[in-house]
């Protein structure tokens, strides 16, 4: 059996997010930070800037005209939104072309990530929940633990598949049985090491177990939990874990959704998810 | 009666035509195969006319378009009630006849704990069944429900449909 320590050591060998994202995370927590501070961090990274502008110009962010500079993006979208887009653009660059264990390609992993980000935000609107801070980023990065854990699961693939098909075991439970940890715990560690904001750390940690979370923003984790279930249900980014999951009944009662709200969110977001999903293939 | 598809394709590699989420495709190119991935609660309705050697596939997301008429006008393939009739129409346009069309269905899965609030797979299935019943359409084979994500393929050369779940592919 693989030890939890082995899995955690793997984190160190992952490609890291560009340092700009950690710097931006500090700025986003600093009320005195100005638009100019944000610009100064992003602008020196041309690849980050290019990807940020591509994403910012997608229909989802609702700009009426094309933005061609970081400054314009900040002026029109604000610091918080630009941080969220920058983190997404940076994340798209560190996804390996294939994530073993989960049997998922980078394009599908990206599609799933963007779907959860979009669905979580749209759910907040549909369910009249005040969008918690950095919901988009928290949704987008919720599965970052999978980047480190995949290789170990690959070695145990047949056992994993038999657990998933024979017993009604959730994917996280199967990970835990085989590795002593799961992608939520590993994701929390990565988010901490990458100096990401608390909302990302919490969501990475609790999105499969919102009932056990403590001292965190319930709404944030609840929305990502539900959005994650929806994304898998609609088939945005199939990995081997697929439908082996459940909506937590406490989340369901806290959020108070029904089948019609789920369907409305599903139909409203399909085009936007598709557009951004195809962006970083 | 039917030649082996390998012979018909004459060594040419088969063309894979992907049907996305909320999408439909038809083909009468005997070297092609229609494929759709990651059918969760969504449903694929798969049509094949062996006389015309023509097939069609829709991967719809949701049962009813009444709450989103604009979306449905824009993309009828998103909903069962607008997409399925459209798929039949497209088949007829290529000379297919209703009495020759073989209908197969896959998808409509659900998460583990479904108690109804989240059961879009079942709603997708029920609405489809009602439409087929009203229109005298018989489903010849189906693989639906359960906590399964499916990949469905239709080979145009001979109408063979396969469903893949967790790496295991079977003929439907």
Given pLDDT bands bounded at 50, 70 and 90, which one contains residue B14? confident
In a domain, A228, yes or no: yes
CATH, residue B69: 3.30.1330.200
How many structural domains does chain A have? 1
Structure tokens, A151? 């290789």
Span B135-155, mean pLDDT? 95
Q: Other CB atoms closer than 10 Å to residue B89's CB: what's the count? A: 11
In a domain, A32, yes or no: no
Of chain A, the percentage scoring pLDDT greater than 70 comes to 94
In a domain, B4, yes or no: no
How many structural domains does chain B have? 1
In a domain, B71, yes or no: yes
Quote the CA–CA distance of B27 and B116 in Å, as a whole number.
36
List, edge to edge, every strand of the sheet that includes B15-18: B15-18, B32-39, B150-155, B161-165, B168-171
In a domain, B7, yes or no: no
CB–CB contact A259 B121 (8 Å): no
Domain containing B58 equals 13-163
Question: Measured between CB atoms, does A260 come within 8 Å of chain B?
Answer: yes
In a domain, B35, yes or no: yes
In a domain, A163, yes or no: yes
The pLDDT of residue A271 is 93
Closest CA to B87 of B158, B38, B31, B135: B135
- Chain B closest-CA separation from residue A281 CA (Å): 15
In a domain, A27, yes or no: no
> pLDDT at residue A100 above 80?
no
Quote the CA–CA distance of A85 and A280 in Å, as a whole number.
13
ipTM of the complex: 0.87
Residues of B with CB under 8 A from a CB of A: 20-22, 37-42, 61-63, 67-68, 71, 75, 78-79, 109-113, 116-121, 123, 147-149, 166-167
Task: Say if CB A243 and CB B113 are below 8 A apart.
Answer: no
Span A17-43, mean pLDDT? 89
Q: Which residue has the higher pLDDT, A79 or B152?
A: B152
The pLDDT of residue B62 is 97
What are the DSSP calls for B96-108, one per residue? --GGG-EEEEEE-
The pLDDT of residue B7 is 46
Given pLDDT bands bounded at 50, 70 and 90, which one contains residue A68? very high
Low-confidence winner among A158-172, A184-198, A266-280 (lowest mean pLDDT): A158-172
In a domain, A248, yes or no: yes
The pLDDT of residue A37 is 92
Closest CA to B31 of B153, B154, B156: B156
> pLDDT at residue B2 above 50?
no
CB–CB contact A233 B111 (8 Å): yes
């Amino acid at each position: 059996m693989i030890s939890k320590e082995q899995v955690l050591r793997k984190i160190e060998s992952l490609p890291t997010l560009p340092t700009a994202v950690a710097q931006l995370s500090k700025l986003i927590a600093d009320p005195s930070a100005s638009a100019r501070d944000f610009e100064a961090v992003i602008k020196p990274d041309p690849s980050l800037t290019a990807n940020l502008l591509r994403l910012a110009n997608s229909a989802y962010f609702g700009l009426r005209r094309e933005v061609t500079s970081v400054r314009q993006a900040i002026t029109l979208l604000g610091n918080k939104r630009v941080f969220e887009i920058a983190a997404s653009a940076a994340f798209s660059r560190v996804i390996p072309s294939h994530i073993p264990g989960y049997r998922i390609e980078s394009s599908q992993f990206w599609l799933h990530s963007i779907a959860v980000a979009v669905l979580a935000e749209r759910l907040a609107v549909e369910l009249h929940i005040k969008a918690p801070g950095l919901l988009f980023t928290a949704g987008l990065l919720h599965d970052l633990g999978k980047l480190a854990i995949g290789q170990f699961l690959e070695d145990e693939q047949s056992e994993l598949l038999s657990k998933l098909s024979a017993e009604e075991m959730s994917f996280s439970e199967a990970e835990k049985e085989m590795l002593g940890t799961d992608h939520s715990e590993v994701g929390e560690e990565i988010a901490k090491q990458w100096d990401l904001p608390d909302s990302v750390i919490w969501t990475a940690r609790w999105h499969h177990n919102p009932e056990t979370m403590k001292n965190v923003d319930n709404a944030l984790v609840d929305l990502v939990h539900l959005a994650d279930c929806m994304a898998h249900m609609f088939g945005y980014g199939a990995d081997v874990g697929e439908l082996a999951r459940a909506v937590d009944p406490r989340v369901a009662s806290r959020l108070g959704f029904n089948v019609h709200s789920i369907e409305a969110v599903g139909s409203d977001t399909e085009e936007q998810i598709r557009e951004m999903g195809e962006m970083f293939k | 009666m039917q030649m082996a598809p390998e012979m018909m394709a004459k060594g040419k590699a088969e063309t894979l035509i992907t049907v996305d989420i909320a999408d439909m495709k038809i083909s009468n190119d005997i070297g092609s195969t229609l494929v759709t991935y990651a059918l969760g609660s969504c449903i694929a309705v798969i049509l094949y006319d062996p006389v015309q050697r023509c097939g069609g596939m829709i991967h719809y997301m949701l049962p009813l378009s009444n709450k989103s008429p604009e979306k449905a006008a824009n993309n009828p393939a998103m909903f069962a009630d607008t997409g399925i009739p459209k798929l039949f129409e497209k088949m007829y346009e290529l000379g297919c006849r209703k009495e020759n069309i073989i209908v197969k269905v896959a998808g409509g899965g659900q998460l583990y704990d479904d108690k109804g609030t989240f059961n879009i797979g079942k709603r997708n299935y029920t609405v489809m069944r009602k439409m087929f019943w009203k229109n005298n359409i018989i489903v010849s084979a189906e693989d639906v429900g359960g906590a399964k994500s499916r990949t469905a393929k239709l080979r145009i050369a001979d109408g063979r449909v396969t469903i893949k779940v967790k790496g295991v592919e079977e003929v439907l």
